[in-house]
Amino acid sequence: MTRTAVNGNREKPGREVMDRAGLEDFSTQEMYREIIRRYDADPAREGLKKTPERIEKALDFLTKGYREDPKDVLHGALFDVAYDEMVIVKDIEMYSLCEHHMLPFFGKVHVAYIPDGKVIGLSKAPRLVEVFARRLQVQERLTRQIAEAIQEAIHPQGVGVVIEARHLCMMMRGVEKQNSSTVTSAMLGVFQKQNTRAEFLSLIRERTPTTL
């Protein structure tokens, strides 16, 4: 390892910076071990010994969406129907990682579309959310990707997606506002019309009955 300057400034004492060649020779777990070493005086202690391995497994799971194709998810369950009313799957749990700080954000996703001859299996909306959420994300892009994937798969009259999420990069650091939430929407086709948009938003605000 070599000590290098960052932006012309001398590094803080005790923090060694790997040069690019050194980083490329590192295994993934060795890189995590190096990160831990910079913040903890004893990275070999019992509680940290297997942490690099655990981080690697956790991040492999939390970014598994990169290895999944949304087309495979949706095209496995497309059905012809004579139905042209709004289909809504709401309150889909979502967990993702902010691409800016790699801290979690989490919340609910509401998906709606008006069919034009085809529908997707009800379980496929949550699966589609999972594919895009298990990546390094920003909420705005995630919202749009879900809507566009459904639009491309079944060409409905329109698609609406709303995400309500809380971001730990705002809650744990920065402004530290624990009760803040972010709401984003993507409206395609007929959902851009005021009456359709209003119907969708009204329906997702309704409380779900606890019994049928």
Give the tens place of pLDDT for each residue, 128-137.
999 999 999 9
Name the active-site residue from 68, 148, 164, 169: 169
Residue 49: burial class (beta carbons within 10 Å; 0-12, 13-18, 19+): exposed
> Quick check: helix, strand or coil at residue 35?
helix
The answer to which of 38-47, 62-71, 201-210 has the lowest mean pLDDT is 201-210
Write the pLDDT tens digit of every residue in 13-62: 344 444 545 555 568 899 999 999 999 878 889 999 999 999 999 999 99
Q: Has 155 been annotated as catalytic?
A: no
Q: Has 100 been annotated as catalytic?
A: yes
Cα–Cα distances (Å) from 157 to 80, 127, 149, in that order, read 14, 22, 14
Name the active-site residue from 130, 137, 139, 145: 139
d(CA 167, CA 147): 21
pLDDT at res. 6: 38
Domain ranges of the chain: 1-62, 77-205
Contact 144, 102 (CB under 8 A): no
Write the pLDDT tens digit of every residue in 154-181: 999 999 999 999 999 988 888 777 778 9
Residue spans of beta strands (DSSP E) within 99-176: 104-114, 118-120, 136-137, 158-167
Name the active-site residue from 34, 98, 110, 145: 98
Q: Has 169 been annotated as catalytic?
A: yes
Taking residues 89-114, what's their average pLDDT? 97
What fold does the segment set 77-205 form as a domain? Answer: GTP Cyclohydrolase I, domain 2 (3.30.1130)
pTM of the prediction? Answer: 0.83
